[in-house]
């Protein structure tokens, strides 16, 4: 099946925004839980969320204090914030609106409903009382849309670009979730042994990977093992390795893929060389930075090869 | 519901379902009886179901209001308009004949101009019209078909006869609503179909595809057909997307395509450029090609006219078709039918006074309160004056406008648009309507069974446009009584 470059681009961004909305919701949910688990006075800051989502600059434009309410409102409901849940959902909807003719009708219906839900509830769900319910709804509805796509879309170019969008954004968000964990631990100076497992369990659970970790690795959550699992377990759908392999699989049969494949293979090599057991927290942080730079480069190559319209 | 049906008064108009004596017409009898038996609660429940279906199906149209585009749900009246197959056969024949003549006219105008040379149509009315595109001269599209998709507006006067009000040959819209109306009726009033044999309409997208495919310059099993839309902010975007889906064609915007050095048209896909055979364009001539028409247009494709003239791509409707979509040219269509086809017009036109002709102008200026005055070149019911409903101030204004620019105005007697029972609030009342069938011309000519019935929801109003408070009805062409 043929697919217009413009439509491919919009499908790809629809998927990225949906994934971003879901993953941000996961991140906020697990961070909220983490903060409740750690004795008051020594909780990690809310600011760390802004750091990992690269949202400090946008935040400081309109806010002075990075307290719970301000940070959560900014990340959940602020439509001016390009990485807020509400804004991501809005952007996803805009992209579906103009690609309805290649997607099953229900995809539009559900994305539209998600948009109306978020518009109505995001601002009133910033407080802890309603927050959980809102985040659960966003995650659940995004999963429903993903499931719908997975079970109805032909495995053609349409599906290919949706999948690439999801995987690329997910890989990026997974590194950010890890960065929150690492950032939290780096910022604190107390006895690490008591909070470490809590933080890593929180990271794993925000990736829906805690149970799998226990079964695959063991019941005790330990930093290097957790990082290794999230980075390099090829069977875990939110691991970096899984995402890269998936994107590679989709790009391999495409024409014009040389540059993009090069970046993927570079990222895969550096991932296989990185050993979390030997790395300190700072090394991990640096690795994540480098990995994110590779994802960014991959996005650029995809854009040049299949979306930018200078083919004539 | 019985009561409001029993007091239903058709007044002086032709009513589609009810005779002047108040009894249902033969073809409508079973439908009217079914509605009569329903309670108000039942009627309201069906109406809510229809409204819900419209929202679920995402049927909307866009109105531009106060600087903003607003998506509105499509207003629908669930009582269908019923026309017998016998009546329709005559109309259908007339429409096909008329469209053949119009296409012959367009082809002639851009080639020999015989009809002008023979003095049947005054040359200046055609050649000085903004719809005449000199750039199209010398072209002769396949099968002599220029206006491949034609939407012709019909009304039914007091005598019950159909009259052609206007021919829309540029980018007529509304066909998707015709299809959706049937879909909604099937959902909310399934039992209504039990006693009727209604001609189906839902093969329109495949008929459209066949028509478009027959124009392909390359002989391929499945030519590459695309629908060119100005984009999501266009009021008919819903329809563009609907038809693209219905035909399994790509919905493209101008920037998705380019013309290469070989004068062929290509679209940009993830597998690289792919050649396009047929463009069903839903943008006006003026925006089609910035190299030829409006330079500032970003909606079209630079060079597409070059590709068309080289015969490497078909464009539907062909550029320049609008030359026959002009209210002055309209007045000459019966002459065209006689001239090109040597036939007698099988469907009537409305008597039209051309203000450019002195005798006609004089009559118009003296009878403004009786006539409908229309600008020759507007659509959507804008800028017209309905004499019997006008104020003296409006008549003065139009009198001035006509004298300033007589070429730009025509006038017609006010027709009494027919009515049909329409469910308003919780009573059934007569409302005026028109009908827009669609005629496809390619290798073959095909007329939709029925068309889009538009209804003026305001009591006494004759303005049926959805942008101005109009609604619509499902239109049934039914076979003999059973």
Give me the CATH topology for the region B351-413: Dna Ligase; domain 1 (3.30.1490)
Q: What is the pLDDT of residues B327-380, one digit of tens each?
A: 889 999 999 999 999 999 999 999 999 998 899 999 999 999 999 898 876 655
Q: Please name the member of A2, A6, A312 whose beta carbon is closest to the beta carbon of B258.
A: A312
Residue among A105, A161, A255 minimizing CB distance to B271: A255
- The answer to whether position A297 is within a domain reads yes
Residues B214-263 have pLDDT tens digits of: 999 999 989 999 999 999 888 888 899 999 989 999 999 999 999 999 99
CB contact under 8 A, B258 and A256: no
Q: What does the buried/exposed string (b/e) look like for A191-210 if buried means 16 or more CB atoms within 10 Å of the residue's CB?
A: eeeebbeebbbbbbbbbebb
Between B74 and A5, residue with greater pLDDT: A5
From the number of C-beta atoms within 10 Å of its C-beta (0-12, 13-18, 19+), residue B359 rates as: exposed
CA A233/CA A120 separation, integer angstroms: 39
Instruction: Give the number of other CB atoms < 10 A from CB of residue B163.
Output: 19
User: Does residue A114 form part of some domain?
Assistant: yes
Cα→Cα distances B434→A172, B10, B91, B431, Å: 57, 16, 14, 10
Domain count, chain A: 1
Cβ-based contacts of A8 with chain B (< 8 Å) = 269-270
User: Taking CB atoms and an 8 Å cutoff, what residues of chain B touch A4?
Assistant: 250, 252, 256, 267-270
- Read off the DSSP letter of residue A254: S
Give me Rg for the CA atoms of chain B: 23
Verify whether the Cβ–Cβ distance A311 to B272 is below 8 Å.
yes
Task: Output the six-digit token pair for B368.
Answer: 């403004």
B58, B245, B271: residue with CB nearest A2: B271
**Dist CA B138 CA B111 (whole Å):** 5
Taking an 8 Å cut-off on Cβ atoms, the answer to whether B271 and A8 are in contact is: no
Bridge-based pairing of strands B470-478 and B76-84 is: parallel
The pair of three-digit structure tokens given for residue B148, joined into one six-digit string: 């491949």
* DSSP string of A114-167, one letter each residue: HHHHHHHHTGGG-SHHHHHHHHHHHHHHHHHHHHHHHHHS-TTHHHHHHHHHHH
Task: Inspect the interface and report whether the beta carbons of A4 and B271 lie closer than 8 Å.
Answer: no
Residue A144 lies in a domain: yes
Q: Is the pLDDT of residue A163 over 70?
A: yes
Question: Would the CA dihedral through A69, A75, A80, A81 be positive or negative?
Answer: positive
- Burial of A81: CB neighbours in 10 Å, binned 0-12, 13-18, 19+: buried
B contact set with A (CB within 8 A): 56, 58, 231-232, 241, 244-245, 250-253, 255-256, 258, 260, 266-274
State yes or no: cis peptide before B317, omega within 30 of 0: yes
Q: How many helices (H) and strands (E) does chain A have?
A: 14, 0
**Residue B62 to residue B65: CA distance in whole angstroms:** 9
Q: How far is C-alpha B204 from the chain's CA centre?
A: 14
CA separation, residue A31 to residues A13, A27, A286, B46 (Å): 26, 6, 22, 49
**CA A73, A79, A84, A90 torsion-angle sign:** positive
Complex ipTM: 0.82
What pLDDT score does B235 carry? 81
- Report chain A residues whose CB lies below 8 A from the CB of B299: none
| Phi and psi, residue A109, nearest 5° | -55, -45
Residue A162: inside a domain, yes or no?
Answer: yes
For helices A157-187 and A281-302, angle between their N-to-C axes, nearest 10 degrees: 160
User: Closest-CA residue in chain B for A305?
Assistant: B270
Of the candidates A98, A105, A157, which has its C-beta nearest B270's C-beta? Answer: A157
**pLDDT per position as a tens digit, A165-222:** 999 999 999 998 888 777 776 655 544 556 778 888 888 988 989 999 999 998 888 8
**CA-to-CA distance for B482 and B475, rounded, in angstroms?**
19
Nearest chain A residue to B224 by CA distance is A2
Q: For residue A95, give its domain range.
A: 5-307
Give dist(CA B452, CA B456) in Å, integer.
13
> Can you tell me which residue has the tokens 């550096």?
A270
Query: Which of A161, A255, A309 lies closest to B255 in CB terms?
Result: A309
Q: Report d(CA A101, CA B241) in Å as an integer.
A: 6
Alpha carbons within 13 A on the beta-carbon side of B423? 26
Element (H, E) at B412: strand B409-413
**Spatial CA neighbour of B130 closest among B405, B475, B390, B368:** B405
Mean pLDDT of A87-110: 90
Could you give the CA distance from residue B54 to residue B266 in angstroms, rounded to a whole number? Answer: 36
Q: B222: distance to nearest CA of chain A, Å?
A: 13
Domain ranges (residues) in chain B: 218-312, 351-413
Residues pairing with B150 in the sheet: B439
DSSP label of A43: P
Q: How far apart are CA B91 and CA B74, in angstroms?
A: 27
Contact B322, B170 (CB under 8 A): yes
Angle, alpha carbons B268-B245-B453 (nearest 5°):
130
Q: How far from chain centre, in Å, is Cα A295? A: 12
- Which residues of chain B does A95 touch, with a Cβ-Cβ cutoff of 8 Å? none
**Which of the 8 DSSP states describes residue A39?**
P
The reply to whether residue B269 touches residue A256, judged by beta carbons under 8 angstroms, is: no
The model's confidence at residue A37, banded by pLDDT at 50, 70 and 90, is: confident
Q: Which residues of A touch B233 (CB under 8 A)?
A: none
CA trace torsion A122, A127, A131, A133 (10° rounding): -90
Q: Which CATH architecture has domain B218-312?
A: 3-Layer(aba) Sandwich (3.40)
Given this model, what pLDDT does residue A190 score? Answer: 47
Determine the distance in angstroms separating the CA of A93 from the nearest CA of chain B, rounded to an integer.
13
**Number of CB atoms found within 10 A of residue A65's CB:** 10
- Residue in chain B lying closest to A309 (CA): B268
Residue ranges in chain B whose pLDDT is less than 50: 66-67, 482
Cα gap B170→B133, rounded to integer Å: 13
Residue of A nearest to B275 (CA): A2
Q: What's the token pair of residue B283? A: 């943008």
**Chain A residues close to B245, C-beta within 8 Å:** 100-101
- Mean pLDDT, chain A, rounded, equals 90
Q: What is the pLDDT of residues A45-83, one digit of tens each?
A: 888 889 888 888 999 998 888 999 999 999 999 999 988
pLDDT tens per residue across span A290-307: 999 999 999 999 999 999
pLDDT of residue B88: 96
Identify the closest residue of chain A to B259 by CA–CA distance.
Answer: A312
Going by DSSP bridges, is the β-strand pair B452-456/B470-478 parallel, antiparallel, or unpaired?
Answer: antiparallel
* Contact between residue A72 and residue A28 where contact means Cβ atoms under 8 Å apart: yes
Confidence at A3, pLDDT banded by 50, 70, 90: very high
How far off is chain B from A164, nearest CA to CA, in Å?
A: 14
- Is B269 within 8 Å of A5 when comparing Cβ atoms? yes
Both tokens of B349, joined, read 């036109």
Q: How far is B231 from chain A (nearest CA, A)?
A: 8
Say what angle helices B175-188 and B237-247 make with each other, to 10 degrees: 80
In angstroms, what separates the C-alpha of B301 from chain A's closest C-alpha? 13
Nearest-by-Cβ selection for A6 from B58, B253, B273 = B253
Distance from CA of B420 to the nearest CA of A (A): 34
Residue A4 to residue B250, Cβ atoms within 8 A? yes
In a domain, A312, yes or no: no
d(CA B397, CA B393): 6
Residue A312 is predicted with a pLDDT of: 39
Contact list, A161 vs chain B (CB under 8 Å): 270
Nearest by CB to residue B273, choosing from A3, A98, A311, is: A311
Best residue in A3, A5, A108, A256 to probe B by mutation, most B CBs within 10 Å? A5
Q: Which residues of A touch B273 (CB under 8 A)?
A: 311-312
Distance CA A28, CA A26 (A): 6
- Which of B29, B170, B96, B43 lies closest to B448, judged by CA? B96
Say which of A4, A109, A157 has its CB closest to residue B267. Answer: A4
Q: CB–CB of B253 and A3 under 8 A?
A: no
**Coil, helix or strand for B324?**
helix
B73 beta partners = B60
User: What is the C-alpha to C-alpha distance for residues B159 and B47, in angstroms, rounded to an integer?
Assistant: 32
Q: For residue B251, which residues of chain A lie inside 8 Å, CB to CB?
A: 101
Q: Which of A6, A100, A161 sits opposite B241 (nearest CB)?
A: A100
Contact flag B252-A311 (C-beta cutoff 8 Å): no
Q: How far separated are the first and last CA of chain A, in Å rounded?
A: 21
Residue of A nearest to B247 (CA): A101
A13 neighbors A303 (Cβ within 8 angstroms): no
Q: Looking at beta carbons, which residues of chain B come within 8 Å of A154?
A: none
Question: Which chain B residues contact residue A312 at CB under 8 A?
Answer: 258, 260, 266, 268, 273
Select from A8, A98, A105 the Cβ nearest to the Cβ of B270: A8
Residue with tokens 């915007």: B253
Whether A302 is in a domain gets the answer: yes
Check residue A242 and report its DSSP letter: H
Label residue B311 left, alpha or beta by phi (over 0 means left) and psi (-120 to 50 means alpha): left
Closest CB to B274 among A2, A108, A309: A2
Smallest Cα distance from B299 to chain A, Å: 15
């Amino acid at each position: 099946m043929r697919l217009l470059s413009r439509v491919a681009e919009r499908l790809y961004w629809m998927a990225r925004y949906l994934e971003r909305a879901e993953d941000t919701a996961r991140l906020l949910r697990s961070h909220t839980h983490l903060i409740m688990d750690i004795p008051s006075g020594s909780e990690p800051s809310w600011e760390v969320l802004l750091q990992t989502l690269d949202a400090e600059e946008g935040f400081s434009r309109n806010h002075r204090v990075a307290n719970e309410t301000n940070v959560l409102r900014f990340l959940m409901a602020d439509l001016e914030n390009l990485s807020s849940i509400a804004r991501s959902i809005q952007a996803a909807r805009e992209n579906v609106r103009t690609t309805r003719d290649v997607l099953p009708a229900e995809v539009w219906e559900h994305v539209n409903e998600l948009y109306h839900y978020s518009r109505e509830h995001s601002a009133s769900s910033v407080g802890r009382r309603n927050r959980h319910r809102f985040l659960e709804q966003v995650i659940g509805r995004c999963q429903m849309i993903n499931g719908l796509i997975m079970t109805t879309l032909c495995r053609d170019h349409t599906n290919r670009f949706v999948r690439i969008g999801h995987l690329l954004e997910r890989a990026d968000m997974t590194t950010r979730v890890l960065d929150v964990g690492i950032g939290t631990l780096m910022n604190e100076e107390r006895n690490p042994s008591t909070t470490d497992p809590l933080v890593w369990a929180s990271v794993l659970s925000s990736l829906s990977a805690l149970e799998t970790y226990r079964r695959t690795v063991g019941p005790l959550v330990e930093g290097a093992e957790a990082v290794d699992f999230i980075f390099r377990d090829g069977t875990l759908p939110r691991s970096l390795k899984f995402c890269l392999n998936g994107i590679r699989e989709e790009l391999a049969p495409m024409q014009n893929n040389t540059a993009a494949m090069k970046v993927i293979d570079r990222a895969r090599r550096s991932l296989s060389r990185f050993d979390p057991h030997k790395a300190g927290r700072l090394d991990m942080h640096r690795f994540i930075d480098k990995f994110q730079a590779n994802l960014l480069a991959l996005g650029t190559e995809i854009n040049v090869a299949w979306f930018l319209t200078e083919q004539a | 519901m019985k009561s409001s049906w029993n007091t239903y008064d058709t007044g002086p108009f032709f009513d589609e379902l009810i005779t002047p004596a108040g009894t249902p017409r033969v073809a409508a009898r079973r439908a009217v009886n079914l509605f009569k038996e329903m309670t108000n609660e039942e009627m309201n429940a069906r109406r809510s179901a229809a409204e819900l279906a419209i929202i679920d199906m995402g049927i909307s149209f866009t109105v531009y209001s106060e600087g903003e585009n607003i998506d509105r749900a499509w207003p629908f009246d669930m009582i269908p308009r019923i026309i017998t197959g016998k009546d329709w056969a005559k109309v259908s024949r007339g429409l096909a004949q008329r469209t053949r003549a119009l296409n012959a006219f367009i082809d002639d105008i851009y080639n020999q101009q015989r009809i002008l040379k023979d003095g049947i149509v005054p040359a200046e009315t055609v050649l000085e019209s903004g719809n005449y595109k000199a750039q199209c001269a010398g072209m002769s599209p396949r099968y002599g078909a220029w206006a491949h998709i034609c939407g012709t507006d019909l009304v039914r006067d007091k005598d019950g006869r159909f009259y052609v009000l206007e021919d829309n040959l540029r980018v007529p819209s509304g066909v998707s609503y015709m299809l959706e109306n049937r879909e909604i009726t099937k959902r909310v009033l399934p039992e209504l179909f039990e006693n009727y044999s209604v001609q189906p309409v839902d093969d329109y997208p495949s008929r459209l595809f066949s028509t478009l495919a027959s124009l392909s310059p390359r002989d391929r099993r499945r030519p590459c057909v695309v629908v060119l839309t100005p984009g999501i902010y266009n009021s008919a975007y819903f329809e563009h997307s609907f038809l693209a889906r219905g035909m399994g064609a790509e919905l493209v915007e101008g920037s998705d395509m380019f013309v290469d050095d070989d004068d062929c048209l290509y679209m940009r896909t993830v597998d690289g450029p792919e050649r396009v055979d047929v463009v069903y364009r839903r943008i006006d001539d003026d925006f089609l090609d910035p190299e030829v028409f409006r330079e500032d247009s970003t909606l079209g494709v630079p060079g597409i006219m070059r590709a068309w003239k080289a015969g490497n791509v078909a464009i539907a409707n062909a550029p320049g078709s609008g030359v026959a979509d002009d209210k002055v040219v309209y007045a000459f269509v019966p002459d065209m039918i006689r001239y090109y086809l040597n036939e007698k017009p099988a469907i009537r036109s409305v008597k039209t006074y051309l203000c450019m002709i002195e005798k006609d102008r004089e009559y118009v200026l003296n009878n403004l309160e009786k006539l409908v005055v229309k600008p020759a070149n507007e659509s959507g019911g804008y800028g017209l004056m309905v004499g019997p409903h006008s104020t003296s101030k409006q008549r003065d204004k139009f009198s001035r406008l006509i004298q300033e620019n007589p070429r730009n105005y025509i006038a017609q007697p006010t027709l009494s648009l027919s009515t049909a029972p329409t469910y308003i609030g919780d009573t059934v009342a007569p409302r005026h309507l028109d009908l827009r069938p669609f005629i496809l011309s390619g290798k073959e000519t095909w007329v939709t069974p029925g068309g889009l019935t538009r209804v003026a929801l305001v009591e006494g109003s004759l303005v049926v446009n959805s942008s101005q408070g109009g609604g619509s009805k499902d239109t049934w062409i039914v076979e003999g009584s059973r």
